[in-house]
Amino acid sequence: MRISRLFAALLASLVPTALARSSTGDKVLVVMEPTLKAEDYSLFFNNLRSRGFELFFRAPNEKMPTTMSYDIPQFSHIIMFTPTAKNLEADVGPQALFTLLKENPSTNILVALSPKRTPMSDFAAEFAIGLPPPNTPLISHFPARSSPHTQLIINSPSKPHPLLSKNLPPVLFEGQAHLLGDNPLLFPILNAPVESFSTDGTEDRRADSVVEAADKGGEGLWAGSKMSVVSGFQATNGARVAFVGGVKLFSDEFAKAEVTPGKRSGNGQLAQDIAAWTFQETLVYKVESATHFLEKDESRTEPETYTINDRVTFTMEISQFDPIQNKYLPKSDIQDLQLEFTMLDPHIRTGIPAVADKPGKYSVTFRAPDRHGVFKFVVNHKRKGFTPLQVAMPVAVVPPRHDGYPRFLSAAWPYYIGAISTSVGFIFFCIVYLGAESATERKRKEKGKNKVE
């Protein structure tokens, strides 16, 4: 009996470790409109469950389960499969979702767009995503195929983003493409084919609305690889949003389909990659610690002030989340980490190399500038799709104390020699002058004495 209890306790302690995969949480709210059936996306949902996520389903116009309760988020991740829903409850509306992302860095959202104009179209516009006119799906007539021209075969990029799996097979896509604006936090994950374009039908002669919109808006033709079908948004607070141009990308139909005879599509793997990145399983960095100290200080304590021209050492430790082990592990291969020592403007900008034989540790030593004031150690590492690494540590740089200056300055020797030579000359002059006066007085006295005699 005691052995069975110990075994049960051990099993209970291992289950969370085996299942928990996200760095922010495992509760997922799936908002799915009634026209869609969960069993048509069973491969995608079952994959999430197998990775330890707990799924909760609700319709767009239902109130429960709610996303917030007493200003506390109830879910770590939200999936919006609402391609045609016009009416959404307030807690899953565009403004509510935007506020949720802004105030809760552990919240992530996966959005499926569509050629229909819905509230999610307005939500995408908040992130500088431009959408073609309504009811203009993406089509391509190449390569020749028996399937509808609205079903595109998209090859993996030649230089895929690190969030995508290597050697990803071609994927099937049906939906609407979009353009990325000037938002620096927005980046493409999968671009549209070069020969594709958006139109209001499956034939070229029915692209009147697109041409008219291009003439009026000056946006140019909605065509080519400048458009994206899957995009990501990495917020500075760590929250993530993924926009997918069509919900069918996650369907069992596309996941089981063959792009060429005998070759299965990569939709299943792509859907897994998108969810893993969105739910903060991959490309998640964290600053474990950051400190600074004098190079000659063996205790490595952080001083309150530095003196100008001091040799200063800055070190930091960085880790990356490992979804398999469900913990952060040291990260030592970041090549472009940079430190700025700033006072309004950077006075020093230098790279921070990794320390050999010390996993996850980065260190750099530099000379404090010859200027006093309040400075900051600043690390602001932002890369598209990666969790930002941000450090800001203020410190004062002061002039030397009155007894901190050297007794003699080598650069002042000309002045020293000038002062010494002047003093020596003055003394020599005094000696000569006084000596000459004494000799003259003696001669005068002797001359007077001779006259008396």
Say what the pLDDT of residue 118 is: 92
The 10s digit of each residue's pLDDT in 276-325 is: 999 999 999 999 999 999 999 989 999 999 999 999 999 999 999 999 99
pLDDT band at residue 406 under the 50/70/90 scheme: confident
- Does pTM surpass 0.85? no
| Residue 302 to residues 42, 98, 112, 365, Cα–Cα distance (Å) | 55, 39, 49, 14
The 10s digit of each residue's pLDDT in 37-56 is: 999 999 999 999 999 999 99
Say what the pLDDT of residue 23 is: 80
The more confident residue out of 149 and 309 is 309
Please report the DSSP string for 325-338 in residue order.
Answer: TTEEEE-------E
Asked whether residue 237 carries a pLDDT value surpassing 80, the answer given is yes
Say what the pLDDT of residue 401 is: 86
- 3 state DSSP class of 419: helix
Rounded distance, CA 253 to CA 41, Å?
A: 8
Say what the pLDDT of residue 11 is: 37
Rounded distance, CA 301 to CA 308, Å?
A: 18
Q: Where are the extended beta strands (E) located within 74-161?
A: 77-81, 108-112, 129-130, 138-139, 152-154
Q: Report residue 195 as tokens.
A: 């020969």
The 10s digit of each residue's pLDDT in 171-182 is: 999 999 999 999
- Axis-axis angle for helices 42-50, 267-278 (nearest 10): 50
Say what the pLDDT of residue 213 is: 55
The 10s digit of each residue's pLDDT in 62-93 is: 988 999 888 889 999 999 999 989 889 999 99
Under 8 Å between Cβ of 11 and 18? no
Gyration radius from the chain CA atoms: 36
pLDDT band at residue 20 under the 50/70/90 scheme: very low
Under 8 Å between Cβ of 291 and 303? no
The more confident residue out of 405 and 84 is 84
Mean of all residue pLDDT scores within the chain: 87
Which has the closest alpha carbon to 80: 92, 90, 72, 64? 92
**Residue for token pair 């200063």:** 312
| Cβ density class 415-428: b for 16+ within 10 Å, e for less | eeeeeeeeeeeeee
Using a pLDDT cut of 90, give the percent of the chain over it.
65
Q: Residue range 396-404: average pLDDT?
A: 88
Asked whether residue 412 carries a pLDDT value surpassing 90, the answer given is no
Say what the pLDDT of residue 6 is: 38
Rounded distance, CA 347 to CA 344, Å?
A: 9
Say what the pLDDT of residue 25 is: 85
Rounded distance, CA 235 to CA 251, Å?
A: 28
Rounded distance, CA 389 to CA 318, Å?
A: 9
Please report the DSSP string for 358-377 in residue order.
Answer: STTEEEEEEEPPS--EEEEE
Say what the pLDDT of residue 146 is: 78
The 10s digit of each residue's pLDDT in 195-232 is: 888 887 655 555 565 566 556 554 556 788 889 999 99
Asked whether residue 393 carries a pLDDT value surpassing 90, the answer given is yes
Which has the closest alpha carbon to 36: 245, 251, 230? 251
Q: How many other CB atoms sit within 10 Å of the CB of residue 151?
A: 19
Residue 105's contacts (CB-CB under 8 Å, 6 or more residues apart) are 235, 237, 238, 239
CA end-to-end span of the chain, whole Å?
144
Say what the pLDDT of residue 140 is: 87
Rounded distance, CA 225 to CA 204, Å?
A: 18
Say what the pLDDT of residue 4 is: 41
**Residue for token pair 């939906």:** 175
Find the angle CA(23)-CA(331)-CA(289) to the nearest 5 degrees. Answer: 80
The 10s digit of each residue's pLDDT in 244-270 is: 999 999 999 999 999 888 899 999 999
Under 8 Å between Cβ of 138 and 197? yes
Beta pairing partners, 80 = 31, 111
Phi and psi dihedrals of 259, rounded to 5?
A: -80, -30
pLDDT band at residue 2 under the 50/70/90 scheme: very low
Say what the pLDDT of residue 209 is: 58
pLDDT band at residue 142 under the 50/70/90 scheme: confident
The 10s digit of each residue's pLDDT in 323-359 is: 999 899 999 999 999 999 999 999 999 999 999 999 9
What H or E segment, with its residue span, contains residue 449?
helix 413-452
Rounded distance, CA 29 to CA 45, Å?
A: 12
Rounded distance, CA 281 to CA 273, Å?
A: 9
| Residue 193 to residues 70, 111, 139, 208, 244, Cα–Cα distance (Å) | 46, 21, 10, 21, 15
Length of the chain: 453
Q: Residue range 107-116: average pLDDT?
A: 93
Q: Report residue 38 as tokens.
A: 């969960």
| Residue 321 to residues 14, 75, 259, 363, Cα–Cα distance (Å) | 18, 20, 34, 21
Rounded distance, CA 179 to CA 353, Å?
A: 37
The number of C-alpha atoms within 13 Å of 44 and in the hemisphere containing its C-beta is: 28
